Amino acid sequence: MLFDVEKIRSEFPLLRGNAKLVYLDSAATAQKPQCVIDAVSEFYARDNANIHRGLYRLSQTATTAFERARERVAKFLNARESRECVFTRGATEAINLVAASWGGANLREGDEILLTEMEHHANIVPWQAIAERTGAKIVVAPIFDDGSLDVPAMKNLISEKTKIVGITQTSNALGTVNPVAEICAAAHTAGALVLVDAAQSAAHFAVDVQAIGCDFLVFSGHKICGPTGIGVLYARAEILEKMPPYQFGGDMIDVVDFAGTTFRGIPGRFEAGTPNIAGAVGLGAALDYVSALRPHAQAHESALLSYATEKLCTELPEIRIFGTAKEKASVISFHLGDIHPSDVGMLLDTFGVAVRVGHHCAMPLMKRLGITGTVRASFAFYNTFEEADRFVAALKKVRGMF
Ligand code: PLP
């Protein structure tokens, strides 16, 4: 068997120990396989010391483990060098870093920051903050009613005023997969840089920064089976080298004197203070684990998406699915008739089905769709067809209650 989902589930203690749970909220955070849990706990049990500062062997072991994780990230993203990969707390912190550091140094009054209507708040609010500080303006590219990006309209909005484009590779709320390489090429012809939000996409398919041609890319460890509190900012070395530090303190300096301080090179200059060392080690293990399952895991997710979508539409004709783009990750956002999404979510929970309800941190997108929220079922490679059946059966029971 190419993809043995039962064997994979047995590697996830939370899924193994919860036969009644149908976990369909992996877009919020993914469950963790034993190898990731072991990598974190073994680091604390065997290798724990602070990094980059100790001359003793244990500290060097810890430093090596941390820097190996960085190399693992670089390989995962196909970055040219590991120094292009900065460890952050997650995608949110990585975007804040770029907005504050690169944006603070480069944006001026009249400049434009181009986003899309489907961005997560994490790829909107940091840009609003820096726009307010610098006088730059936010411009928003529209989407079509099926939740796909209006690419020609977005390209038309790119001009010499555009200094940075922020675009999600995969929408967390709709599952839409965007043609980010095409947008990068269009932005570069106008001299603009591009930040790709890969918080969702990294969990579903290979993300290759060189093939995309992006200048910045961010993702969070916890959505790809890694620990919480660790994420990555990828940035092209020549851009990162020119960016001022984002936070200040220990480990990011070269020489400190009350007369003035000099800073380390990249990426250390952007990693002030003691980082999440065990988190980085756990992330390295998660990337190894997920990479080894590809491309079969991706094919399994696509099959689950098609199966669940078809079953929902045939067995629950009143369902309204938001996000039906041709290129779509395994996310189904919907309304069940006129039952409030919160009621659907709470009642599904009584049948052991865990889904997310609400605006999914995408309030502008909800406004564009003329709704306040949806129910979102997000499938990962460890979900089964039987779980999709249980999800639909539970929804039918919920419908029967109204
Ligand atoms: N971008 C997208 C598309 C997301 O789905 C999320 C989280 O849901 C984020 C950014 C922010 O990720 P984090 O909360 O891990 O920083």
Please give the distance, rounded to the nearest whole angstrom, from the Cα atom of residue 357 to the centre of ligand 1.
Answer: 16
Residue 205 reports pLDDT greater than 80 = yes
pLDDT at 367 over 90: yes
How would DSSP label each residue in 132-148? Answer: HHH--EEEEE-B-TTS-
> For ligand 1, is residue 200 a contact (CB within 6 Å)?
yes
Q: Which residue lies with its CA nearest to atom 6 of ligand 1? A: 199
Torsion from C-alpha of 210, 156, 195, 239, nearest 10 degrees: 70
pLDDT digits (tens, 9 = 90+) for 229-271: 999 999 999 999 999 999 999 999 999 999 999 999 999 999 9
Q: Among the CATH numbers 3.40.190.10, 3.40.30.10, 3.10.20.30, 3.90.1150.10, which is that of 5-31+295-400?
A: 3.90.1150.10
Assessment of whether the complete model's pTM goes beyond 0.85: yes
Q: What pLDDT does residue 262 have? A: 94
* Statement: residue 357 has pLDDT above 70: yes
**80 pLDDT above the threshold of 70:** yes
Phi–psi pair at 385, nearest 5 degrees: -65, -35
Query: How would residue 368 be classed by pLDDT, with cut points 50, 70 and 90?
Result: very high
Distance from residue 314's CA to the centre of ligand 1 (Å): 32
Ligand 1, atom 14: closest residue by C-alpha: 92
CATH of 37-291, picked from 3.40.640.10, 3.30.390.30, 2.40.160.10, 3.40.50.2300, is 3.40.640.10
For residues 11-42, one letter each, b for 16 or more C-beta atoms within 10 angstroms of the residue's C-beta and e for the rest, the string is bbeebeeeeeebbbbbbbbbbbbeebbebbeb
Q: pLDDT at position 2, please? A: 75
- Asked if residue 385 has pLDDT above 70, the reply is yes
Three-state DSSP at 177 gives strand
How far, in Å, is the centroid of ligand 1 from the Cα of 200? 7
Identical fold for domains 5-31+295-400 and 37-291, yes or no, is no
Residue 70 confidence (pLDDT): 98
Quote the mean pLDDT of the chain.
97
Q: Which of 361, 365, 378 to mutate to test the pocket of ligand 1 (most atoms within 8 A of CB)?
A: 361
CB 263 within 8 A of CB 247: no
Q: Which atom of ligand 1 is nearest to the CA of 94?
A: 16
Ligand 1 centre distance from Cα of residue 229 (Å): 12
Catalytic site includes residue 85 = no
The pLDDT value given to residue 129: 98
The mean pLDDT of 147-170, rounded to a whole number, is 98
- Least confident window among 43-57, 67-81, 273-287: 43-57
**54 has pLDDT over 90:** no
Instruction: Say how far apart CA 86 and CA 270 lie, in whole Å.
Output: 7
Locate the ligand 1 atom nearest the alpha carbon of residue 197 and give its number: 1
Domain ranges of the chain: 5-31+295-400, 37-291
pLDDT above 70 for 1 = no
pLDDT above 70 as % of the chain: 100
Atom number of ligand 1 nearest to Cα 122: 10
- pLDDT > 90: what percent of the chain? 98
Q: Is residue 9 scored above 80 in pLDDT?
A: yes
222 CA: nearest ligand 1 atom = 15
Determine if ligand 1 sits within 6 Å of the CB of residue 199: yes
Q: How far is the CA of 106 from the centre of ligand 1 (A)?
A: 25
Q: Is the pLDDT of residue 13 over 80?
A: yes
Average pLDDT of the segment spanning 190-217: 98
